[in-house]
Structure 1
Amino acid sequence: MTTIRLVQGDITQQSADAIVNAANSSLYGGGGVDGAIHRGGGPAILEACRALRASHYGKGLPTGQAVATTAGDLDATWVIHTVGPVWSSTEDRSEQLASCYRESLRVADELGARTVAFPAISTGVFRWPMDDAARIAVETVRNTPTAVEEVRFVLFDDRAYEAFVRQLG
């Protein structure tokens, strides 16, 4: 059984086997969590992402998929990059968001990771409503078979933390 924990803070300060990056499809870093992970992990992460783009992911990482790289200077072994969907008021993309969590756990299992730290995927510049994102994240992690022993949702502010607290009930 996977233990789910909530932490309010900076995901780049977490000690875990794997830290999940809410990446953009280019894998080259960006704003928010993505930029913070690239800055915190140093050039090794960008170098690994460039290698992925030069081989399997020439057109970028598709939404809902996940891939791992080194964690560079972070206190983790791996960074699992996943591309969340942009929220839409006219199209239900919740399955794509759920896929980010499922695919990240699948990659974590392939790596043998026992502790995984997730951000609230798609809630920043991709504008997913926090309460709905928290619901999808918690339900998906609870319902995905995995050997991961601890999933830690690392939430940047009070609003995100409280939304996840409500979902864990």
Structure 2
Amino acid sequence: MSTMKKRIPMFLLALAMMVAMALPTFAAAYRPNAQFDYLLNINGSTGSAYQGRALNLMKTKTMGTDQDFKIGTRSGYPGYYMLVSANVNYAVNRSTNGGRAIIWPIATGYNDSRLYDNDESVIRLYTSRELLTAREPVGDWSTVYFGGSGISVWVRAH
């Protein structure tokens, strides 16, 4: 009987640890606040190379690979990043030409991709403090960039 009493708490502890470890890795799409039919999207053909692809808004209610991001850390790099879930070696970055939000490898752009913190509703760059912003008026293929004016509050949509 005492062996069974020891196994139940150990099982519950193991289950709790599995759930806690799984929570930060849930996939998520992001949409601008109050824009229910538009998701943050990696522009270009699904499956094409990520480097340099611009971000925009796409009118869709279904999350696909190019709308799937997670905010988290990366081993070997300081801070938080908005990572491409399909390949966490890539993160949202700021183009030096006009501030457009693009996808870039963390290995060569971690300082420009690093976020101020792990906030999922106000996505702010660490170095420039610029916010990820959807240009208004919002429509299919609207531009997403860092800085300037527009909608800068994001909602995590599962």
TM-score grouping bracket, smaller chain normalisation: under 0.3
How high is the TM-score relative to the length of structure 1? Answer: 0.25
Larger Rg: 2
Structure with higher RCO (Cα < 8 A, 6+ apart) = 1
More strand by share: 2
